[in-house]
Amino acid sequence: MINGNLLVQNTRSAVEHLKCCRLCEHRCGNDRTQGHKGKCHALADVRVFRHRVEWGEEPELVPSHLFYTSGCDLRCKFCIAEQNAFNPQIGTLLTTEFLRTSIAWGRTQGAKNIQWVGGEPTIHLPGILEAMQQIDDLPDVVWKSDFYATPEALNLLEGVVKYYVADFKFGNNHCATQIAGVPRYVETVARNLRHVADRGILIIRHLLLPGHFECCYVPLVKWVAEHLPNVRFSLRDGYLPKWQARNHPMLNAVVSGKESKMARNFAIAEGLRLV
């Protein structure tokens, strides 16, 4: 059960970020209420480009009602959401009434939680919290994020979010910079994973990338095994060369069955709790 007073308090604090944004690790400090755009290009409004009940999430989450917000702080060349992920002006304006109506519909479909995804929802934290604080009997909240957030932003989710689903994408900073356009990726995500590990139920998700087994997957698995060995690890092998991946030889491929099996065996050998 979400503490309503805490949600109101966190919302007030989150709204202050719209005037000097420090929600993601870019820490632009822009006044989004005055039309000043940072790396994510988001302003004050939140838009949802799709929402639907899905059954392909981790077992403890399904059926889950996913709300896809447009706009992102990363620029992954293989993003499956393509242009929707990077243009925060795409989609339906998020309002309390839209959210209330959507949640009611999701319940008729059997959804047992609402899940904020993207793009990246953390850049829209003020608007999402504002919309949720007006909803009576809010379902469990799942926060699916790239975890390139700041501790200040994550603190505003404490007591509100039950499940954190973290997309841990890269195992080194070079690949993160080349593919997603962000610096200090590994240390930022590692810090944030430790930050929330005891503040909710954490699931670390990793999408296998073709040609990135040794450089990304191996060090990533080893880090999780050393620092968060009891966290559930969701290995995804359904990579598709979407968006700009078609222009990059290594990314313009699929993950083979052999690679997938090797990845699973390696995670098991390292003692991870595979979903």
Percentage of the chain modeled with pLDDT above 90: 93
Quote the tokens at residue 74. Answer: 């990363």
How far is the CA of 89 from the CAs of 25, 42, 86, 187, in angstroms? 22, 8, 9, 30
- DSSP-H helix ranges across 56-144: 83-86, 96-108, 125-132
Residue 3 has pLDDT above 80, yes or no: no
Closest CA to 81 of 66, 70, 73, 94: 70
Strand 140-145 and strand 163-167: the pairing is parallel
Over the stretch 42-57, which tens digit does the pLDDT of each residue have? 999 999 999 999 999 9
Over the stretch 97-120, which tens digit does the pLDDT of each residue have? 999 999 999 999 999 999 999 999
pLDDT band for 262, please (50, 70, 90 cuts): very high
The whole-number average pLDDT for the span 18-40 is: 95
pLDDT at 1: 60
Average pLDDT in the chain: 96
* Strand segments (E) across the chain: 47-54, 64-69, 92-93, 113-117, 140-145, 163-167, 201-207, 232-236, 273-274
pLDDT at 260: 97
pLDDT at 111: 98
Output the domain CATH number for residue 75.
3.20.20.70
What value, to the nearest 5°, has the Cα angle with vertex 75 and ends 73 and 78?
135
Other C-beta atoms closer than 10 Å to the C-beta of 222 total 14
Strand 92-93 and strand 47-54: the pairing is antiparallel
Closest CA to 24 of 158, 156, 129: 156
What are the two backbone dihedrals, phi and then psi, of residue 243, each rounded to the nearest 5 degrees? 55, -120
Provide the residue range defining the domain that includes 150: 4-274
Other C-beta atoms closer than 10 Å to the C-beta of 174 total 13
Percentage of the chain modeled with pLDDT above 70: 99
Strand arrangement of the beta sheet that strand 92-93 belongs to: 92-93, 47-54, 64-69, 113-117, 140-145, 163-167, 201-207, 232-236, 273-274
CA–CA gap between residue 240 and residue 234 (Å, rounded): 17
CA–CA gap between residue 215 and residue 202 (Å, rounded): 24
CA–CA gap between residue 125 and residue 223 (Å, rounded): 28
pLDDT band for 201, please (50, 70, 90 cuts): very high
Quote the tokens at residue 59. Answer: 């077992």
What value, to the nearest 5°, has the Cα angle with vertex 90 and ends 85 and 93?
120
Coil, strand, or helix at residue 265? Answer: helix
- As for how many domains the chain has, the answer is 1
Beta bridge partners of 142: 115, 163
Q: Model pTM?
A: 0.96
Angle formed by the axes of helices 125-132 and 96-108, to 10°?
Answer: 70
